[in-house]
Structure 1
Amino acid sequence: MSLQLDVSKIADCLRSAAKAEILPRFRRLGNGDVRSKSEPTDLVTEADVAAERYIRNELSTLLPQALFVGEESVAADHALLGRLADAELAVVVDPVDGTFNFASGIPAFGVMASVVWRGETVAGLIYDPMGDDWAIAEKGAGAFLRRPDGEAVRLGVAAPAPLEAMVGMASAGYFFGEMRERVMCNLAKVRMVANYRCAAHEYRTFASGHVHFIMYNKLMPWDHLAGALLAQEAGGYVARFDDAPYLPRHVEGGLLVSTDKESWQMLRREILKI
């Protein structure tokens, strides 16, 4: 099977899902429209479920041969996640990334999709429903901000900076025990660190050159495949904490993204201390 991919049609699908199922529910969720999954801050809303169903139905026509791996589909059938490693072609979707923000009425959430071909991410899309634009990357073709009128602006990471001048994003929620204490203390060495509670916007911010690094300990494919490719195609260095490549089958090992390999190594040495 050869891969024929029209990324623009996937982009249109994400936008249509947002307009049909996500935005009409923003700040309008009822009492029964929000539920907890693994913990009180791990939420799912009716918008997540409806948007994923919408996207799955549309992609079944666009890419009928692809395995569909959605966050909510995996929540219903965890065995689905294990099929990703062996799938020749798969589409991985996060229907509402930043669900906690969405459910709280905070306008920082996104819709993410990635295309995996023979074990490698070949396309990644992050749609911002509030800004009505996409950050899109195809392997070997660069990273771009694309608007509905067709305008495209090439994205690029920030220039490297010394540790004390770095601004970054770090999700501390999934660091635990001694490692959590170590990482949180060592982050005091950088100029500023933030957490949007939304990987979609954190990856977009990095690829647009506004921060020098992002760091995660929990790896689920719908959270990171699109963003990792976006970061790489924008010129960044992406690797797990042991400096091994990040691949779609990985669900552990942490992820550190920085402007270049030298900065990555410095952050690993000074912040992770491994």
Structure 2
Amino acid sequence: MASLLLTDPQRDAVFTAIVDTANAVVLPRFQNLGDGEIDTKTSPTDLVTIADREAEVRLTAALTAILPGSVVVGEEAVSSDPKVLDAIAGDAPVWIVDPVDGTRNFAAGQTPFCVMVGLAVEGVQVGAWIWRPIDAEMIVAFRDEGAQLFETTSGHDRRLQVSRPLAAAEMNGFVSFKYLTEEQRSLARLNARRMRRIQSIGCAGEEYLRIAEGRDHFAVFGRINPWDHCPGSLIVEEAGGLAVIGGEAYGPRHSDGPLWIASSAHVLQTARHQLLDSGSDPEDKG
């Protein structure tokens, strides 16, 4: 589907637009934000910076020029006007943009953070780009074409492939405790000891990358905004994993979680049972 939608020159143009945007307005402000360049949105911890806003404006102009007739759903535009989100239900190709994923890290002068762009058609993710500015690495996936990581400094690239451990004690995962229900949060905290490692690093894009690379194996998210998950979910799927809500594959039109990302169906079932089971600690069957 993506191969019919974007030509090779258009794909290259998207890659370049993301890198150029990050170099122009994101990286120069890392550890260099001035007074008045950090603001809040829905809560004191829901941050936005001048880099988020300027990057989204630049990407919106660039992406719609690359693919005429397309529209953009960006995190900051939706924050200003929630009706912008309605475009995901429309017929036009939709660019889904998170101009700075990991804003709290970025605002604190810490990593990880990234720039994420997804492309969806009729509610299906068909293209994904995650740019890691500090490492100068781009992760790209197109539906049915696999996922690749490009090291722009060295010129090397490699295909991504998930890893599939069998035992819970071998599984690493990410849990966004803040956005789970109180019951889910309590259970997950209590049962985290059953897994090898549970953490949250405040950057969904980085978490998706680590699962696609095989360094980690699952994630559970309670808050389902398309800009947080549209790019990364496709990358994990194309690396051999899965993204599900309830009993169906995740898509950008979903709005209610929890969303589970996993390297395999077995990992998904094991992690969900081990973390959210309220019974006694079950024997690990491997």
Q: TM-score range by the shorter chain?
A: over 0.9
Aligned partner of 2:224 among 212, 219, 226: 219
Of 56, 59, 75, which aligns to 1:55?
59
1:184 aligned residue (185, 189, 203): 189
- How many residues align? The count is 272
Q: Deviations over 1:117-148 (max 9, x none)?
A: 12210011100000111111100000100133
Q: Is 1:113 the counterpart of 2:149 in the alignment?
A: no
Aligned-pair distance for 1:150?
A: 4.7
User: Gaps spanning 5+ residues in structure 2: where?
Assistant: 279-286
Code of the residue aligned with 2:242 in structure 1: it is Y
Aligned counterpart for 1:4 among listed residues 3, 6, 9: 6
SS in 2 for 1:18: helix
State whether structure 2 residue 170 is matched by structure 1 residue 168: no
Match for 2:173: what amino acid?
A: G
SS, match of residue 115 in structure 2: strand
Residue 196 (structure 1) aligns with: 201
Tell me the SS of whatever aligns to 1:61. Answer: helix
Of 93, 99, 105 in structure 2, the residue corresponding to residue 95 of structure 1 is 99
Match of 2:40 in 1: 36
Equivalent residue in structure 1 for 2:86, among 71, 82, 101: 82
| TM-score, scaled to structure 2 | 0.91
CA contact (8 A) 1:219 1:251 kept: yes
Asked if structure 2 preserves the Cα contact closer than 8 Å seen for 1:44 and 1:99, the reply is: yes
The answer (yes or no) to whether the contact 2:166–2:266 under 8 Å persists in 1 is: no
Cα distance per residue 1:180-232 (max 9 Å; x no partner): 11122122210111111001111111111101111111110000010000000
Q: How does 1:219-258 map to 2 (within 5 A)?
A: 219-240=224-245, 242-258=246-262
Q: For residue 244 of structure 1, report the CA deviation from its aligned partner.
A: 1.6
User: What percent of counterpart residues are identical?
Assistant: 35
Give 2:18's match in structure 1, choosing from 8, 14, 21: 14
Q: Give the match's secondary structure for 2:248.
A: coil
Confirm or deny that 1:66 pairs with 2:70: yes
Q: Which runs of 5+ in 1 are unaligned?
A: none
2: CA distance, partners of 1:167 / 1:118: 33
| Letter of the structure 2 residue corresponding to residue 88 of structure 1 | A
- Tell me whether 24-33 or 259-268 shows the greater mean CA deviation: 259-268
Per the alignment, in what secondary structure is the counterpart of residue 83 of structure 1? helix
Q: Which runs of 4+ in 1 moved over 4 A?
A: none
Decide which moves more: 32-41 or 263-272.
263-272
Cα distance, 1:40 vs. partner? 1.4
2:281 corresponds to which residue? none
What per-residue deviation string (whole Å, max 9, x for no partner) do you get for residues 38-77 of structure 1? 1111100000000111111111210121111000011111
Is residue 2:29 matched to residue 1:25? yes
Tell me, in whole angstroms, the C-alpha distance in 2 between the residues paired with 1:150 and 1:10.
18
Q: TM-score, normalised by structure 1?
A: 0.95
1:106 Cα deviation (Å)?
0.3
Letter in 1 for 2:165: P
